[in-house]
Amino acid sequence: MLVSHAHRFIYLKTQKTAGTSTEVYFQSACMPPTALPQDWKAWHRTDSVVTAYGVVGARLGGAKEGFWNHMSARQVIDAVGPKVWASYLTFANVRNPWDKMVSHFFYDARAAVLAARPPTPEVEDEIRATFAAFIRKFRRPEVEALLLDPTYRLDAYIRYEHLRDDMLAVARHCGLTLHDRPFPRLKTDARPERYRDYRGLYGEAERRHVADVYADWIAEFRYTF
């Protein structure tokens, strides 16, 4: 998550929606002025950065100084106060939930091991069975469950399917000039190419389960299977 006092925005980081890439792209606006890195991964810090310019929440290492990567709107309001929340532009990423869950699945260590094996029929059957179990056990994190809640509704949403256009629209609104900045692509190598079309992993039960869990996103952003 990010807070920029200089540009008056708050970014909430959802899971497997190009959140890390978006976060890294905007985080210079939340830190003291510094040169951009040659490697975007150098900005993917694990500790939090809290200065007069803003906040970059801790990644991987848990909550440090009260801020961490996947804070929900409720948690951010508790940390920064309702006045800051109400007066800053608030935004987050969304993505077609069925596609999102396939990406989420292959980021899991067990699925990554299976995906690295030769794609025999037996391996493919095991991947599908493991995916079905993953979907059944999945519980949506609070940051995503509250994303469209009327109490916490955000000002803007960056759609994964229109990533760069939506990011630039938010940047313009915040007075940022980012159009000439190269776009970071982080955490994109876990998903096998043969599953780029997410539909191949789903049975009817899994399709319905995701539809129920993310019914609000599907209705709001008109996502279809």
* 112: amino acid identity, one letter: A
Domain count of the fold of the chain: 2
Q: Record the tokens describing residue 54, joined without a space.
A: 């803003």
118 and 148 together in one domain: no
130 and 148 together in one domain: no
H helices present in 88-141, as ranges: 97-107, 109-115, 121-137
For tokens 């990644």, the residue is: 59
35 and 92 together in one domain: yes
Q: What is the pLDDT of residue 117?
A: 87
118 and 77 together in one domain: no
Q: What is the pLDDT of residue 108?
A: 80
202 and 134 together in one domain: yes
52 and 163 together in one domain: yes
- Summarize pLDDT for 49-63 with one digit per residue, the tens: 889 999 999 876 555
161 and 206 together in one domain: no
37 and 133 together in one domain: no
* pLDDT band at 25; cut points 50, 70, 90: confident
Provide the residue range defining the domain that includes 86. 2-96+142-173
111 and 121 together in one domain: yes
| Average confidence score pLDDT of the chain | 88
Burial group, residue 124, by CB count within 10 angstroms (0-12, 13-18, 19+): middle
pTM higher than 0.85, yes or no?
Answer: yes
Contact 197, 130 (CB under 8 A): no
- Summarize pLDDT for 184-213 with one digit per residue, the tens: 666 666 788 888 999 999 999 999 999 999
Residue 183 scores a pLDDT above 90? no
- Summarize pLDDT for 4-15 with one digit per residue, the tens: 999 999 999 999
Q: CA of 135: how far to CAs of 74, 218, 220, in Å?
A: 26, 17, 22
Q: CA of 44: how far to CAs of 3, 88, 125, 139, in Å?
A: 16, 24, 35, 26
Judge whether 185 lies within some domain: no
110 and 163 together in one domain: no
